Every structure is written in C-alpha cells, then in structure tokens.
Amino acid sequence: MKKKKILIGVTGASAMLFLQSFLEMLAGEDVLLHGVCSEAGEKVLGLERECSFKDLPAVVKWFDEKDFTAPPASGSSGYDAMVIIPCSMGTLASIASGISANLIHRSADVLLKERKPLLLVVRETPLNRTHLQNMLTVHDAGATVCPPHPGMYLKPASLEDAARTFSWRLADQLGIQINERKRWGQEQS
C-alpha cells in the first residue's frame, strides 16, 4: 500500500508538547512527513520546549514558510492530509478567509480545495466571537477543528501521557492504526 504523505504545519500557539508527542508517535509509523514552521512557531517552540523544529522527529523535509515554489503550494504535490499543530488564531483566521500569506496558509487552502483532510489543532483560551466564527467557517469549508484536549477518562499519569491520548485521536482522524492506543471500554471488547 502507498505510504500516507502528510504535511505538518507548526504555528505560534502554545501547546508544543502536543506537537512533540504527535511526531514521536508518527516516528514509528509508515508515513512520509513534510513540514512547514512559521516564524512565530519557531519562537514558541524554542520558548516552550527549548528546541528547534529541525530537532523534531519523523519529519524528513522542512520547507520555508515564505517559499511559495515549494511542493505543498500546489495541489499536484499529492499530500493525503495536513495537520496544523498547534494552530494559532492568526493562522485560523487566514485559512477561514482564504488569505494565503505564507506557505502554511496556502497549503491549507490547497488541501481544502482538493477535498483532503485538514486537521487544525487550534489553541487559545478563552475564545472570542471571531475565533468561534472562524472555526465554524473552516469546519464548513471541510477542515476538522481539533482542540488539544487529552482523554482524561483514560487516566493519563503525566503530561506526556495526556498528550499521547490526544495524538491517538489525531491518528484516528488520519486513519493510522496505533498498536499501543488505549480506548474507552476496550476491556469489555
């Protein structure tokens, strides 16, 4: 079977632990990952996790956010899905209004027009009316809004465990089977 080709967008919202957890999970899977990190994403990643996007696992190629000649700018590049993790309110607004100001926005626009899965791990609290309206707009355009909420019912023992329960939810959305994945009610099945 053909490897899934997934584009990762990293923007400047808090919740970089979830990004690391997600990529660590995908490092053990048969997927091809490319990435784009915004300038603010690089800044927040450094502040929260003390690393650069270049140190993250699993992504084999990173494109510059200003490079509109990079493959993800075109629908012909054939990505199967895109995950923006974390997704800032600024990037959400750009996607909602179709403004392709950088390669992350443009790629998201491409995935929507090609009718491919686009998962947005939006992070902000509290949410204002504009944020909520933009989430509904991207939902209606075909994206899936996935706030980084761990499955507390699985009783995670640490922050890392909590982040992993959320990564499993993203894997479900992408149709990727994770062997160690715990599910509610699995003891009964």
Ligand X SMILES: Cc1cc2nc3c(=O)[nH]c(=O)nc-3n(C[C@H](O)[C@H](O)[C@H](O)COP(=O)(O)O)c2cc1C
Among candidate residues 144, 181, 185, 186, the one with its CA nearest the CA of residue 166: 181
Would you give the binding string for ligand X spanning residues 18-37, x where CB under 6 A is met? --------------------
Per CB under 6 A, which region of 11-19, 50-58, 110-118, 179-187 contacts ligand X? 11-19
**Cβ contact 8:34 at 8 Å:** yes
Closest approach, Cβ 75 to ligand X, in A, equals 22
Among candidate residues 73, 104, 99, 98, the one with its CA nearest the CA of residue 9: 104
Between residues 85 and 171, which has the closer beta carbon with respect to ligand X? 85
Secondary-structure breakdown of the chain: helix, strand, coil percentages, each rounded to the nearest 5: 45, 15, 35
Closest approach, Cβ 148 to ligand X, in A, equals 10
Residues 102-141 that bind ligand X (CB under 6 A): 123-124
Closest approach, Cβ 183 to ligand X, in A, equals 29
The type of residue at 142 is G
Q: Are strands 59-63 and 31-37 parallel, antiparallel or unpaired?
A: parallel
Residues 39-98 that bind ligand X (CB under 6 A): 40-41, 44, 47, 88-91
Name which position in 7, 11, 63, 120 contacts ligand X (CB under 6 A): 11
Closest approach, Cβ 39 to ligand X, in A, equals 7
Burial of 141 (0-12, 13-18, 19+ CB in 10 A): middle
Interface residues with ligand X (CB under 6 A)? 11-14, 38, 40-41, 44, 47, 88-91, 123-124
